[in-house]
Amino acid sequence: MASIQSWIKAARLRTLPLALASIAMGGLVAATHPRFNLRAALMAALTTLLLQILSNLANDYGDSSSGIDNEHRVGPKRTVQSGEISAASMKKAVILFSFLSLLSGLLLIFWAASLPVKTTALFLLLGLAAITAAIKYTVGKNPYGYVGLGDFFVFLFFGIVGVAGTWYLSTKAWDPLILLPASALGLLSTGVLNLNNMRDIANDQQKGKNTLVVKLGLSGAFLYHCLLILLPFLLLILYTLLSGADPRVFLFLILLPLFVVDLVRIPQSFGGAMLDPFLRKLAIKTLLLTLFFGVLLNLK
Q: What is the largest CA-CA distance in the chain?
A: 57
Q: What is the pLDDT of residues 233-255, one digit of tens each?
A: 999 999 999 999 999 999 999 99
The answer, yes or no, to whether residue 76 has pLDDT greater than 80, is: no
Residue 245 to residue 138: CA distance in whole angstroms: 41
Average confidence (pLDDT) over 167-174: 94
pLDDT of residue 73: 54
Least confident among 30-34, 133-137, 155-159? 133-137
Average confidence (pLDDT) over 188-197: 95
Q: How much is the pTM?
A: 0.92
pLDDT of residue 285: 97
> Would you place residue 67 in the very low, low, confident or very high pLDDT band (cuts 50, 70, 90)?
low
Least confident among 83-97, 102-116, 131-145, 272-286? 131-145
The answer, yes or no, to whether residue 65 has pLDDT greater than 80, is: no
Helices (H) and strands (E) in the chain, counts: 13, 0
| Cβ–Cβ < 8 Å for 79, 60 | yes
pLDDT of residue 295: 97
pLDDT of residue 143: 82
> Would you place residue 74 in the very low, low, confident or very high pLDDT band (cuts 50, 70, 90)?
low
The answer, yes or no, to whether residue 70 has pLDDT greater than 90, is: no
pLDDT of residue 69: 53
Burial class (CB in 10 A: 0-12, 13-18, 19+), 65: middle
When the pLDDT of each residue in the chain is averaged and rounded to a whole number, the result is 90
pLDDT of residue 71: 57
pLDDT of residue 72: 54
Q: What is the pLDDT of residues 268-293, one digit of tens each?
A: 877 677 888 999 999 999 999 999 99
Residue 76 to residue 153: CA distance in whole angstroms: 23
Beta-carbon contacts of 178 under 8 Å, excluding residues fewer than 6 positions away, are: 26, 29, 163, 164, 167
pLDDT of residue 205: 87
